[in-house]
């Protein structure tokens, strides 16, 4: 389900799903397994069909066979054979070039045939799992053959994968290109991070708990950290990464989505535009970066060789399809301020990087320190502050740390963690992260998808950084070892403010070990 939890009909509407770039990894790794999960849960309409479109030399029969052979490798749970047989009967394939007008006519005929055979009521949506340079041409061709028209109650929608532009100007141009063919409510700009259960739970956690929301402001919060750390390198994406880098790849989409969910004001309802209005307000309230702020509040890095999971790995410049003198960043850290009543004076620290010490995506709310006066004449030398950590991946859950007296005859404080794990309390969900987003598109709920103004507002924040970095190339790359937590300048970014990064280590291991123990009680508490 989406944030609109009162949806009276959770089953996706009858429709044909067209996947552009259907022969790519995303289709077999994520999209088809997600659709199978929806079907298994009874959330996919029986009146449904898939049409794959790509340049590869498949037929419908060979495309079905390829998926039959590949899907078991990527499905999060065994697929019932009866369900798969039902599913494959609804899969079709059209071979064609993305720029060939004739291929779109063939596609239209195949959609119409599938519509009649499976009674999909004329509804359709197009998933653009292709390189960004094809977004505009594909939508233009779809419009030319009439596949984007919404008539007689039939709907047509387009899901666009990231990156949505590579700077502010290109994002505006892409929005303009799409809107020449589509209306805004037909465009679904997808960010799979928002398919994560915990990301959506941020709003529920904040706005449904009266012990939390009154503390969620500058009066009680010292600072906020948002981290998206990966242990993997660029792998087979070197060619793409050379044109993007960590800043473009992660910050205006993934990290800013987490930022807006964390910092937004309460919407008046879970209506899609009400939620997205509040998210857009956060982006517009970010203090703009001048050239001096870019130099002092931004850190970029590139990994060199090192050790990850006890394995020696090469540096970024030795990866396939990467220039040997590349200045592309694989790590970014930044400090920003949100200039509104709730967050004035509270710094937000964001970081993301590849080949880091641990895979972890999390939001950390660091609360202010309590007055020390009560403990002045005791042996307590340092008061730990309360910390709330929203864990997003690899394990989804929420941790709250607070001080408690260690048993004994002297005053000694220990830091206690109280954990909530989704897997422990609700069971493991067979999810790819795409189920909710695909179903939301089918039912017409755009809450978890970016709007045009949100995309442009995010790039407006990033553009001054791109400009300064273009003018001042880095001179010290590579500047962090694979398997570390990034360049030392990132540590200094917080140390200058008397703070430090929350590096998930023993705490994260403790959470996973306790979850593995199968503890079911709701008040699991352990000394960290």
Q: Which residues are catalytic?
A: 254
Which residues are bridge partners to 160 per DSSP? Answer: 128, 189
Contacts 24+ apart (CB under 8 A), 77-83: 77/37, 77/40, 77/430, 79/36, 79/40, 80/40, 83/36, 83/39, 83/40
Q: Is 465 exposed, middle or buried (0-12, 13-18, 19+ CB in 10 A)?
A: buried
CA distances in angstroms from 450 to 188, 242, 253, listed in the order given: 7, 25, 9
Distance (Å, rounded) from C-alpha 133 to C-alpha 177?
Answer: 12
**DSSP codes of every residue in 179-243:** HTTS-GGGEEE--GGGGSHHHHHHHHHHHS-TTTGGGSSTTTEEEEEEEEE-SS--GGGHHHHHH
Closest-CA residue to 452 (of 200, 279, 214): 279
Q: CB of 515 within 8 A of CB of 321?
A: no
Q: CB of 379 within 8 A of CB of 408?
A: no
Radius of gyration of the chain (CA): 24
Strands 480-481 and 124-128: unpaired
**DSSP codes of every residue in 391-435:** EEESS-EEEEEEEEEPSSSS--EEEEEEEEEHHHHH------S-H
Closest-CA residue to 170 (of 162, 379, 367): 162
Distance (Å, rounded) from C-alpha 256 to C-alpha 212?
Answer: 22
Task: Extract the runs of DSSP E, i.e. beta strands, from 302-422.
Answer: 303-304, 306-308, 311-313, 331-337, 347-353, 360-367, 387-393, 397-405, 413-421
Closest-CA residue to 185 (of 421, 441, 494): 441
Q: Integer distance in angstroms from the first to the last C-alpha of the chain?
A: 34
Distance (Å, rounded) from C-alpha 168 to C-alpha 257?
Answer: 17
> Phi/psi of residue 236, each to 5°?
-90, 10
């Amino acid at each position: 389900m989406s944030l609109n939890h009162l949806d009276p009909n959770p089953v996706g509407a009858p429709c044909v799903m067209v996947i552009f770039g259907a022969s790519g990894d995303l289709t077999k790794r994520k999209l088809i397994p997600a659709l199978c999960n929806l079907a298994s849960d009874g959330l996919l309409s029986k009146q449904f069909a898939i049409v794959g479109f790509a340049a590869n030399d498949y037929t419908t029969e060979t495309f079905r066979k390829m998926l039959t052979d590949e899907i078991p490798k990527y499905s999060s749970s065994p697929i019932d054979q009866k369900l798969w047989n039902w599913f494959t009967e609804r899969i079709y394939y059209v071979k064609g070039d993305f720029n060939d007008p004739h291929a779109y006519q063939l596609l239209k005929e195949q959609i119409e045939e599938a519509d009649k055979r499976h009674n999909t009521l004329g509804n359709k949506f197009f998933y653009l799992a292709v390189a960004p340079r094809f977004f505009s041409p594909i939508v233009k061709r779809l419009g030319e053959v009439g596949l984007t028209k919404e008539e007689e109650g039939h709907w047509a929608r387009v899901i666009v994968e990231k990156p949505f532009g590579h700077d502010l100007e290109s994002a505006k141009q892409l929005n303009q290109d799409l809107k020449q063919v589509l209306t805004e409510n037909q465009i679904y700009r997808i960010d799979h991070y928002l398919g994560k259960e915990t990301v959506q739970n941020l709003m529920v956690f904040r706005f449904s708990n009266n012990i939390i929301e009154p503390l969620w402001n500058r009066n009680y919060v010292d600072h906020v950290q948002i981290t998206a750390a990966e242990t993997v390198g660029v792998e087979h994406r070197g060619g793409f990464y050379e044109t993007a880098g960590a800043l473009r790849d992660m910050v205006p989409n993934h990290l800013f989505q987490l930022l807006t969910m964390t910092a937004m004001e309460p919407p008046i309802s879970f209506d899609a535009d009400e939620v997205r209005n509040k998210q857009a307000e956060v982006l517009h309230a970010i203090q703009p970066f001048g050239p001096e702020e870019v130099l002092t509040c931004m850190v970029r890095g590139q990994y060199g060789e090192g050790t990850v999971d006890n394995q020696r790995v090469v540096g970024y410049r030795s990866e396939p399809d990467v220039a040997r003198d590349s200045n592309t960043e694989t790590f970014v850290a930044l400090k920003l301020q949100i200039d509104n009543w709730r967050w004035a004076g509270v710094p937000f620290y964001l970081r993301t990087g590849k080949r880091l010490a641990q895979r972890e995506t999390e939001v950390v709310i660091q609360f202010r320190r309590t007055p020390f006066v009560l403990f002045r004449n005791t042996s307590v030398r340092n008061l730990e502050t309360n910390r709330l950590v929203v864990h997003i991946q690899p394990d989804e859950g929420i941790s709250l740390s607070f001080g408690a007296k260690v048993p004994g005859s002297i005053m000694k404080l220990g830091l206690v963690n109280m954990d909530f794990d989704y897997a422990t309390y609700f069971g493991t969900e067979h999810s790819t992260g795409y189920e909710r987003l695909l179903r939301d598109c089918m039912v017409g709920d755009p809450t978890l998808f970016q709007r045009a103004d949100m995309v442009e507002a995010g790039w407006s924040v990033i553009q001054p950084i791109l400009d300064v970095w273009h003018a001042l190339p880095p001179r010290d790359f590579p500047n962090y070892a694979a398997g570390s937590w990034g360049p030392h300048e990132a540590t200094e970014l917080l140390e200058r403010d008397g703070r430090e990064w929350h590096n998930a280590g023993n705490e994260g291991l403790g959470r996973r070990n306790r979850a593995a123990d199968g503890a079911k009680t709701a008040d699991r508490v352990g000394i960290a």
